[in-house]
Structure 1
Amino acid sequence: MVMGFILPVNMIFINKNLHQSATMAGFALMVYSGLMMVGNYLGGILFDKLSRKWTLQIGYIIAVISLIGMTFHHVWPSYFFMLSMLGFGMGISYTAINAYTAFVAEQTIGDSRVLFNNMYLAANLGIAVGSTSVGFIFEWSIFFTFFIPVIFFLLCLLIVFFKSATLDATNEEAEKTHEFTVSDEGVDPKVATGEKRYRLNLIILSLGVFIMWMGYTQWDSNMSLYMVNNGFSKKEYSMVFTVNAASLLLIQPVMNRIASKLFKLLKNQILVGIIIMGLSFLLLPNAKVYWMFIVSMLILTVGESMVFPTIPALLNKMSTTKNRGSLQSLYTIMGSLGRAVGPYVGSIIVMILSFGDLFYGITAAMILVALSLKGVKELEK
């Protein structure tokens, strides 16, 4: 919900309220994304080496302090500094949440994909509610636009403070309640896979996440210009994301059941999902009527429901208790990098070539990345 609150209004707030140029606003958001990546990386190390609970708490504390500053001090360049620190804090906490999910999934009875799917669904629901609400709240009060996220993060701090013992429960501690099953840490996936092949697995997955987010983020950036140029309103553009969020609530549970039965190996589910995502962009070069954009988004939603929650699950299969946080940080870092450079690269392609070439290029890149997943060696466990 905080992500949904903060991201949609920053560009407008910096440009219109703080009277900075659009270029400066774009630069500020790029630095925000850059420091989020640093936070992603540091969060993984702290989670593995220091403390699971305190990694999450540190991220939330930094975010709360930054948001309090943004709430009461609307002055440039102080706002720029606080926004950057917010990205850093959220990067730490985001990786810690993913790593905690992997930690619990490793010990949970049944298919761990269910837990990752539920987390992904919760995240998208939060972003949908936040981004829908902030449009009204921003017009009503700038103060509450930033202060409501402070309340949310304070609630997160309280949850972790009082429930960290539950989150940190080990197999041995929880066996008595039959909540978990003992996981086998006797086999190191790196050793079982082979060091070179293991490294190749990580390279392929990292590249895949980067390419997917570069393509996906075109909907958040250059697509607005494309739709406006084709005679559609900003309201019609924003409605596409409402369709995405609403349809995901229906598609995600269905795809979760279907995929768990069809695909024994997670890499095959990811492969098919990426191809579906890529093919969704083929409708856009010749999209002249509104329903074509809606259908494109629905196809993309089917693909993302198969891919985005499954990659962390696959990384979890490749990890041990010693590197679980670090591998989850790899996913968040490459996702942040794709979101940071995607809009800029897309705009350059459009400027030099055309929107059609951009969409065809995304499809080709995603299909190539999907096929490269055949080279990933996944352990059957």
Structure 2
Amino acid sequence: MGFILPVNTIFITKNLRKSMVTAGFVLLIYSLLMLVGNFLGGQLFDRWSHRGTLLLGYGLSAASLCAITFNHTWPSYFIFLATGGLAMGIAYTGINSYTALLAEQSPRKSQTIFSRMYLAANVGIAVGSTFVGWIFQRSVFWTFALQTICFLSCFLIVLRLGAILESPAAKATADQPPFSSAPFLKLTRPQRIRNLILVASASLIIWSGYSQWDSNLSLYMLQNHFSLAQYSFLFSINAASLFIIQPLMNRLLGHFLTQLKSQITVGLLLMGSSFLLLPTATNYSQYIGSMLLLTIGESVTFPLIPALLNKFAQHENRGTYQSFYVIFSSLGRALGPYWGSLLITKASFTTLFYVIWVTMFLAAWGIGQVREKPAPDLN
């Protein structure tokens, strides 16, 4: 996915010669269909097949990207990209759901499992974003061909080694959930619904703002006379620093704040503050500072939100609960580039950055209202 998001706005506006609003609309449809895929992925994971869900998502993604590789003219690009969004949504929820299943079976390592999965996914996105600028400037064909190879490789890995996803150990907790009671919260139905609404709303807001880095920020930096390579390199900094920042932040905040919602709140305030550095950024070091502050905040926020959701899910609906986070995150990614481009067109980039700061603060307040008790000590 790190190859897909950063170049979309530039490819549509510069290569296909469409307006910025059109580029935002394309990303809106792409992300809305990813949202549909997220819902389908959760349902298929809970009701059909863990392995089959991933095979369907990866296979359809590879086919869509292969079509774009050989036909990236308008409107074919838009059609195949939208189809790919649906497929990637299925695969993404499938991975999150399997992570939740692993966390259920290893409750004492639940937070660590989500953190490591997030780190692996984010490093992949960041590495892709780093190289895509260099590759895109040299070959549009290889920009999309390499994406196809990545998803095809995932498909073959699951096809070859994915039997473990349907193993008796993976299914055992369906009849006997021995691990699920201790670390997870027993809430009433109204309390669960309230928590879901708060987490879903916060996820929508968070990703709506964060998605600006994957879309409109590329154009902002180009307008300020920075190169695409410099923009892409910020994602390398993001990936490299995560290896150091995430373990430190998890240990530091975990020592002082026992509740996941409190740690997430701190992360959100840091993420929002990072956007306050952008309106006055005149040299590259200021963009690096903004990215590092964003990285510190996201290293806490993104892995802990699905972990928080998993605390009040049941075994039979872990995939569905994870799909709530992924769906509203996808909706935020869908709306973010579009409303961001509209706000930039009607006002300015500066207005956009201040609006994001305010909305991140509101998301932090919402997460703070989630009902959560500290997990019991299992040592």
SS in 2 for 1:112: helix
State whether residues 280 and 300 of structure 1, in contact with CA within 8 Å, keep that contact through their aligned partners in structure 2. yes
Q: Does 1:247 align with 2:241?
A: yes
Match of 1:67 in 2: 65
Matches within 5 A, 1:1-381: 3-18=1-16, 20=18, 22-108=20-106, 110-169=108-167, 171=169, 182-185=178-181, 189=185, 192-228=186-222, 230=224, 232-381=226-375
Contact 2:127 2:235 in 1 (8 A): no
Supply the distance in 2 between the matched residues of 1:31 and 1:221 (Cα, whole angstroms).
14
TM-score (norm 1): 0.87
Q: Give me the whole-angstrom Cα distance separating, in 1, the residues matched to 2:14 and 2:225.
A: 25
SS at match of 1:287: coil
Closer, same or farther: CA 282–316 of 1 in aligned 2, 3 Å: same
Q: C-alpha separation between the residues in 1 aligned to 2:227 and 2:94? A: 39
Deviations 1:218-251 (A, max 9, x none): 2333434544555555544443333222222221
Gaps of 5+ in 1: 176-180
Unaligned runs of 5+ in 2: none
1: distance between equivalents of 2:263 and 2:241?
20
Shift in alpha-carbon separation, 1:226–1:137, aligned structure 2, 3 A? closer
Instruction: Please list the CA deviations of residues 273-312 of structure 1 after superposition, one character each: whole Å capped at 9, or x if unmatched.
Output: 1112122223333334443332222111111000001101
Give the residue type in structure 2 aligned to 1:115: I
Deviation at residue 67 of structure 1 after TM alignment: 2.0
202-211 vs 72-81, which deviates more? Answer: 72-81
CA–CA distance in structure 2, aligned partners of residues 363 and 20 of structure 1: 29
Question: Hey, what's the Cα distance between the residues in 2 that align with 1:149 and 1:225?
Answer: 22
Count of aligned positions:
372
AA matched with 1:6: I
> For structure 1, which segment, 65-74 or 351-360, has the greater mean C-alpha deviation from structure 2 after superposition?
351-360
Per the TM alignment, residue 22 of structure 1 is displaced from its structure 2 partner at its CA by 4.8
1:205 Cα offset (Å): 0.6
How far apart, in 1, do the equivalents of 2:85 and 2:117 lie?
Answer: 21
With over 3 angstroms needed to count, the CA separation of the structure-2 counterparts of 1:232 and 1:155, relative to structure 1, is closer
2: CA distance, partners of 1:117 / 1:286: 33
Q: In structure 2, what is the Cα distance between the partners aligned to 1:223 and 1:305?
A: 20
Contact 2:344/2:352 (<8 A) preserved: yes
Distance 1:328 1:30, change over 3 A: same
Q: How much has 1:17 moved relative to structure 2?
A: 4.8
RMSD of aligned alpha carbons: 2.8
After alignment, is 277-286 or 19-28 more displaced?
Answer: 19-28
Which consecutive aligned stretches of 4+ in structure 1 deviate over 6 angstroms post-superposition?
Answer: 172-175
In structure 2, distance between residues paired with 1:81 and 1:232: 31
Q: Is the 2:115–2:303 contact (alpha carbons within 8 Å) kept by the matching residues of 1?
A: yes
Contact kept? 2:207, 2:333, Cα under 8 Å: yes
Q: 1:282 to 1:146 in 2, by over 3 A?
A: closer
1:171–1:182 CA contact under 8 A, matched in 2: no
Alpha carbons of structure 1 residues 195 and 104: separation in structure 2 relative to 1, 3 Å? same
| 8 Å CA contact retained: 1:107, 1:171 | no
User: Does the 8 Å CA contact 1:35/1:84 hold for their aligned counterparts?
Assistant: yes
Q: State the 1:109 CA deviation.
A: 5.4
Matched letter for residue 105 of structure 1:
A
Contact (CA 8 Å) 1:104, 1:167: kept in 2 or not?
Answer: no
Asked if structure 1 preserves the Cα contact closer than 8 Å seen for 2:9 and 2:216, the reply is no
Q: Quick check: 340-349 or 233-242, which moved more? A: 233-242
- Residue 18 of structure 1 contacts residue 74 of structure 1 at CA under 8 Å; is this kept in 2? no
Could you tell me which amino acid in structure 2 is paired with residue 275 of structure 1? L
1:336, distance to aligned residue in structure 2 (A): 1.3
Superposition deviation, residue 66 in structure 1: 1.3
Match of 1:178 in 2: none
State the shift of 1:343 in Å: 2.6
Distance in 1 separating the partners of 2:270 and 2:111: 19
